[in-house]
Structure 1
């Protein structure tokens, strides 16, 4: 082979050229990672980590092992069905004496009260009346303070909840509980609220999504077919609600929908109704206010997709003799499915977590899962149950997204 043989003739890449290409690729990759690093760190620290920590609270059981270390160590040797031995009573007495005068006693009692109502009062009363030292018989001491310490149910609860990880909150979020024998059973009908809450949340979210699609689809179609000037004006009108906060928009509907509000006055003036309708603190008010808030999130994805539909396809179908309904059903609608999928997904995900609007416009039976997550986080201070509800909410959204992605394709769920 002569020295003048070219690369094109041999088809072989010189070693030095391969080295330079690999070096350039590494440099390019390093620069890309360096540019992405701030965004990745920002998202991880302010989004992923807080959500992960919040979801971990659904299985976290830090209070009992932390405040009752001796009891947790001793109660593991006890077999349920009978009263624990003296060693377990002594260990519990030592742990409770260490909590005298400390706020942690109330925290421990509140955590145990989630499992057995009345446990908080039992713990605080016992801590308050305990002496500074453990007597010869800790069982007699605790039984003298409160006879409930002779009830195996309370001890069974302590043993079941003595682990660092617990399924108590997850079971509670599904209207389930673990009995004294460890078996999982349904809670009483009077306490079963969360399964119906999930159903109500899904019903409201699906209903709002369907209404937004029925209203938003023709609006987006008109915007896509209008001239540039008219389309810009229509787009500005769609974006106007974003100029005000969610709370202001919801409060405005409170004023409009009340018995003496503008909506009822207009309906009475037009002769459509004879007496004011009840549009506040019920499902109707929730649907009206939520549709108004979420409608732009449906129109914008639809408009972005419809704007890219070439009218040539529609004219071609019409020139072949297809009537307008057939043109829409066989040509236009399939081409806009990506916008429908993206808009429905966006509206549904946002409506599932709605809190402010149902709280202000809806009644007690119209509250969605977001209301209860906020209640257990801020008022009841039961972060474990709030986290469990949030975990199931994320699970439901993920399942629906996967199902929708399988049906219409994941590439069509992206907002373009």
Structure 2
């Protein structure tokens, strides 16, 4: 027998035979995966790309960007760059494409849109001998390096403009990363507020949900099941309806203030709406079931024999709870906190309806940029912040769940 045939037999013997069941399972899952790819992953990817994509200026100002490629940024560009800018503005105004460029540049430097349109209305004559002097005389802003640096940065095809702006950062005329002016730096404050509200809501839900789940787990099933149905009832009601109900209850002439005034506990209506208190109340009411259900599931599975054994060994009731029962509920606490926190950081409707101007979260600004100012790049950049925060939490939970959940007792 040839040597090469003899050598190939061990390799063939060690190779696993094809598994028809595995291929059939893959064929069954493939349509669902394709559906998710087309209807879910692809739109999200397209949205996220808007945070870094930069294709508005390059097709409209090709001469100017080509003239700026060799510019070192230390002084004003040379005469060919000014002449190219005049030619590009004239052509863009004729083609009706100047608005998109002006909008994109205005994201980087406030007032750039007005600068471009004012310049387009009074362009120097073609073939003028000194385009640089003519443009600066027309508007002194063309004599500032920052405006030319912004124009060069907008050449694409990618940009970090929106991602930096989402962190209250920007690039200066030299290309270095610097902080936004104090009157424009808002997003780090908003992100911190979002995380703080989410943490507080999670802790309140844990404080209210743990005793409720403990009580349900200790009750007989004939009593616990109807109570669980009452906990699930809010899931059958629209989120918008539940939030609007809190507006009715918490307003100055609402039910709660009327009761407090009627029984004499307050002399005037309490400000319970359009503030942080209303946001906490409404969000806790909506998210509390997401804390109770995981806790109840874990507590119900804890063997009662463990508790009886600790009591028979002389442990006091509180010691039994702290040393035996509480550590075994760690998985439920982690799951409940994760569910509540991840949903809380993405809340938009509830803070918008019952909160004030200082209570809006990141999702409000995503909706603002997407629907009002039509700045999809900024909306996508803020969305990436939320996705990054959610991904970090999932990785943290996976690490804790994959190893050993820290003991709480």
Question: Does the residue aligned with 2:170 lie in a helix, a strand or coil?
Answer: strand
The answer to whether residue 339 in structure 2 is matched with residue 346 in structure 1 is yes
Per-residue CA distance 1:180-210 (angstroms, 9 max, x = gap): 1112111111111111111111110000000
Q: Match of 1:33?
A: 26
Q: Match of 2:64?
A: 71
The answer to whether residue 62 in structure 2 is matched with residue 87 in structure 1 is no
Per-residue CA distance 1:310-339 (angstroms, 9 max, x = gap): 212111211211111111111111111111
Going from structure 1 to structure 2, the CA distance change for 1:323 and 1:272 (only over 3 Å counts) comes to: farther
In 2, distance between residues paired with 1:277 and 1:410?
Answer: 48
Question: Does the residue aligned with 1:65 lie in a helix, a strand or coil?
Answer: coil
For the 8 Å contact 2:261–2:269, the answer to whether it is kept is yes
Q: Match of 1:3?
A: none
Q: Match of 1:53?
A: 46
Going from structure 1 to structure 2, the CA distance change for 1:225 and 1:155 (only over 3 Å counts) comes to: same
Offset at residue 403 of structure 1 (A): 3.5
Offset at residue 161 of structure 1 (A): 2.5
In 1, distance between residues paired with 2:188 and 2:335?
Answer: 28
Q: Which moved more, 1:128-137 or 1:211-220?
A: 128-137
Q: Match of 1:22?
A: 17
In 1, distance between residues paired with 2:73 and 2:405?
Answer: 55
In 1, distance between residues paired with 2:299 and 2:314?
Answer: 23
For the 8 Å contact 1:201–1:352, the answer to whether it is kept is yes
Q: Which moved more, 1:386-395 or 1:120-129?
A: 120-129
In 2, distance between residues paired with 1:325 and 1:104?
Answer: 73
Question: Does the residue aligned with 2:17 lie in a helix, a strand or coil?
Answer: helix
1:239 to 232, 244, 247: 232
The answer to whether residue 384 in structure 2 is matched with residue 391 in structure 1 is yes
Going from structure 1 to structure 2, the CA distance change for 1:382 and 1:307 (only over 3 Å counts) comes to: same
Q: Match of 2:36?
A: 43
Per-residue CA distance 1:264-299 (angstroms, 9 max, x = gap): 223334444333211111100000000001111111
For the 8 Å contact 2:64–2:88, the answer to whether it is kept is yes
For the 8 Å contact 1:94–1:134, the answer to whether it is kept is no
Q: Match of 2:313?
A: 320
Q: Match of 2:4?
A: none
Offset at residue 55 of structure 1 (A): 1.6
Q: TM-score, normalised by structure 2?
A: 0.90
Question: Does the residue aligned with 1:185 lie in a helix, a strand or coil?
Answer: strand
The answer to whether residue 90 in structure 2 is matched with residue 97 in structure 1 is yes
2:326 to 321, 333, 336: 333
Offset at residue 29 of structure 1 (A): 1.3
Q: Match of 1:280?
A: 273
For the 8 Å contact 1:156–1:180, the answer to whether it is kept is yes
Give the root-mean-square deviation of aligned CA atoms: 2.5
Q: Match of 1:371?
A: 364
For the 8 Å contact 1:97–1:132, the answer to whether it is kept is no
Question: Does the residue aligned with 2:59 lie in a helix, a strand or coil?
Answer: helix
In 2, distance between residues paired with 1:132 and 1:47?
Answer: 52
For the 8 Å contact 2:214–2:296, the answer to whether it is kept is yes
Runs of 5+ in structure 1 lacking a partner?
A: 1-14
Q: Match of 1:8?
A: none
In 2, distance between residues paired with 1:361 and 1:84?
Answer: 52
In 2, distance between residues paired with 1:147 and 1:20?
Answer: 75
1:183 to 176, 179, 187: 176
Question: Does the residue aligned with 1:64 lie in a helix, a strand or coil?
Answer: coil
